[in-house]
């Protein structure tokens, strides 16, 4: 029996299985069927990771076949190595100092901000969130483990040095004058 590793869905950050994994044909990124269907059906007509345009019709089941054990004829160059193949988690390695963080709002909606350095300032993270969802930086209030994140500090200052850390996002509303 061959076991395949599918990694984690970057929308819900839970492990995927053969039964639940789906891929977008436009970019080959993988998600849970329910997660990516809800994402695109909810109006976000793009891949959550690379923002490539995608529709519900682009969601396809991922098929991985076990390689044969032919001895001799090898018309297929992958016959012996396919059964050992694993699909690796797209999370960058720690050695290149790139991390992915998950931004969670009060409605428990999550977005993944990819390819951040641990030396990235909070203001830059807010700019990336603004690019993703259109919420202006001045209206964002970010907290990590209950601690408000200050614009001029880095992720490393808050011990956000590994991928998949969850940062809470709140909207800051300014009162008007009458």
b (16+ CB within 10 A) / e for 131-144: ebeeeeeeebebeb
* CATH entry, 94-171, from 3.90.330.10, 3.10.20.90, 2.70.98.60, 3.40.47.10: 3.10.20.90
Dihedral sign (CA 29, 14, 119, 104): positive
Convert the pLDDT of each residue in 129-171 to its tens digit: 998 888 899 999 999 999 999 999 999 999 999 988 999 999 8
Q: Residues 59, 33: contact at Cβ < 8 Å? A: yes
Of 88, 133, 93, give the one whose Cα is nearest residue 115: 93
The ranges of the chain annotated as CATH 3.10.20.90 are: 94-171
The ranges of the chain annotated as CATH 3.30.40.10 are: 1-90
Please report which residue ranges of 89-137 form alpha helices under DSSP H.
122-133
Q: Measured between alpha carbons, how far is 6 from 20 in angstroms, rounded to an integer?
A: 10
pLDDT of residue 76: 44
The CATH code belonging to domain 1-90 is 3.30.40.10
> In tens digits, what is the pLDDT along the chain, a chain of 178 residues?
445 567 788 888 888 888 888 888 888 888 999 999 988 888 888 888 888 888 988 888 876 655 444 444 444 444 443 444 444 444 444 446 789 999 998 888 888 998 899 999 999 999 999 988 888 999 999 999 999 999 999 999 999 999 889 999 998 766 656 5
């Amino acid at each position: 029996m061959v076991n395949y590793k599918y990694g984690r869905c970057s929308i819900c950050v839970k492990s995927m299985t053969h039964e639940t994994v789906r891929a977008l044909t436009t970019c080959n990124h993988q998600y849970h069927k329910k997660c990516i269907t809800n994402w695109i059906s909810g109006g976000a007509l793009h891949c959550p990771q690379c923002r490539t345009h995608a529709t519900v019709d682009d969601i396809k089941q991922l098929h991985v076949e076990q390689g044969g054990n032919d001895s001799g004829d090898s018309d297929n160059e992958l016959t012996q190595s396919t059964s050992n193949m694993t699909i690796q988690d797209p999370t960058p390695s720690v050695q290149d100092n790139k991390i992915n963080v998950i931004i969670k709002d009060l409605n428990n909606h999550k977005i993944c901000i990819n390819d951040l350095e641990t030396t990235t300032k909070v203001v830059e993270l807010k700019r990336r969130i603004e690019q993703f969802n259109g919420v202006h930086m001045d209206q964002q209030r970010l907290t990590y483990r209950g601690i408000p994140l200050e614009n001029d500090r880095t992720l490393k200052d808050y011990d956000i040095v590994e991928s998949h850390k969850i940062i809470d996002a709140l909207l800051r509303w300014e009162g008007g004058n009458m």
